Amino acid sequence: MRYRAGMSFAQLESQFRRISHLEHVSAILSWDEAVMMPEASGAARAEAMSTLGVVVHEHLTAPQLHDWLAAAEREAAAGSLDAAQRANLREMKRLLQRANALPSHLVEARSRAQLRCEQAWRRQRAQNDWNGFAPLLREVVKWRRESAALLGGVLGLSDYDALLDEYEPYGSSADIDRWFGELREFLPGLIDRVLEHQRSQHAVIPQGPFPTLAQETLGRTLMEAVGFDMQHGRLDVSHHPFCGGVPTDVRVTTRYEETDFSSGLLGVLHETGHAKYEQGRPVAFMDQPLGQARSMSIHEGQSLLQEMQISRGREFLQFATPHIVRAFPFAVAAQPAAFTAENLARVVDMKDAYTGAHSERVALFVEGIARRLGLDAVLVEQLKLAGRLHDLGKIAVPDQVLQKPGSLTPDEELKLSTHPELGASLLDGMDIRPVDLWIRHHHENWDGSGYPDGLAGEEIPFGSRVILVADAYDAMTTERSYRPASSPDAALAELERMAGVQFDPVIVAALKAHLVEAGLVADPPQRAAVRLVA
């Protein structure tokens, strides 16, 4: 049975249809700003898009909507709306409640700050100019925090949950804690087994150059093969891959490195996962709240399903390999063994595996050291957090440096050496001292030869010394594309050789005791001295 909606619900539908059209324009402008816009046009575009954001907000906070909503709820109670219309009404109410919690001046200032920050990131990322970027990021955080406080007060939620509700409707931090708790039960062991399997595999890393045009053609071919509709979308280049636009006009972007075709291709396939979700949204509700993407986790789940599961599967790679071979005939002729389906499967299995698990393993080694030193529970948890976040600053280091399959040049070493300071800066203002301090100094050496400040001995914060030892041990015992993994015994021997030079001898002794207890090394345990921690 098809219900005939009442007048008030129909008025709400019409209003949200207009809002959808405005958001359509905003989405295409946003894509253009990131892909096509001349750099010098950024300030004017930020003002225009901020104004458009205010217009959308005014449509959401128009006074008559309150009466329309109340009347539509009475229509629903009287049975005048079907199930889909009632669900649409529920989503309308949620969006109106969130919009009315925020004043227009805040919406405008927040939008302007975000656009200016993103535009600056594109320029300053290439220059590695964190000091120039940080004030703009702080401005974004300031407006987000103010938004969170206002939303939380209206919705009866914590600041964090009020912001989470924008991306994960009706979700909560308690849900996340429960889900992550379940993951922690099995994930570390699973990661170890996967990495152990990967260490047993030998992969021939394909060597370029891989021309950008050939990469783009290959990406388009595989996008269409997995179901992307090129009549309602396109592929372009941007500073960072993203999926934007609207379901009837989806804009996918990636970036290319001529030394590594897999990074650009996997970026295309990841964003295609997002794009297919957008193109598959229900046409009947395309311009209504009910037809919007449900949540960020579902959206990201679709992209990761495509990139990490389907596109790395043996069957997909068997299908894709002939296309890859045709795209890069000169590279294939020079290195045919690298371009078999079996080898390409091993290559994509290994890609980024180190980065993905490294921080979690460092946190586990940090915990083992801390417990051998008899530290209290609060300090142990702080150290574990620092272990997980110690490489946070690498998000500002160019991918071609982080993923380079070989030794770094002096200039690349310099770029990489900025990551401790960058990581500490990202945590600035988050009230998690001394974690940010430990991260800043986790590459200081015992003899004063480290960075960024050349601290020596006990001048180096205690937590930094712990992270350095755990980080070095995990780095040595993990295989990289440019060197094999060291055995646990060999890595420990190197730590002991450098104790008193690069590493705090007490921390090395504590790690040794932990490794012996865990059965990872055969040396007899030596009781680590316990030093008072200031």
Report the catalytic residues: 271
8-state DSSP, 457: G
* Cβ atoms of residues 281 and 304 within 8 Å: no
Encode burial over 222-258: b for 16+ CB neighbours within 10 A, e otherwise. Answer: bbeebebeeeebbbeebeebbbbbbbebbbbbbbbbe
Reference 252, options 314, 205, 303, 207; nearest CA is 303
Reference 467, options 492, 447, 437; nearest CA is 437
Sheet holding 233-237, edge to edge: 233-237, 249-254, 242-246
DSSP codes, 121-165: HHHHHHHT-HHHHHHHHHHHHHHHHHHHHHHHHHHT--HHHHHHH
d(CA 409, CA 170): 48
Reference 49, options 23, 75, 68; nearest CA is 23
Encode burial over 424-456: b for 16+ CB neighbours within 10 A, e otherwise. Answer: bbbbeeeeeebbbbbbbbbbbbbeeebeeeebe
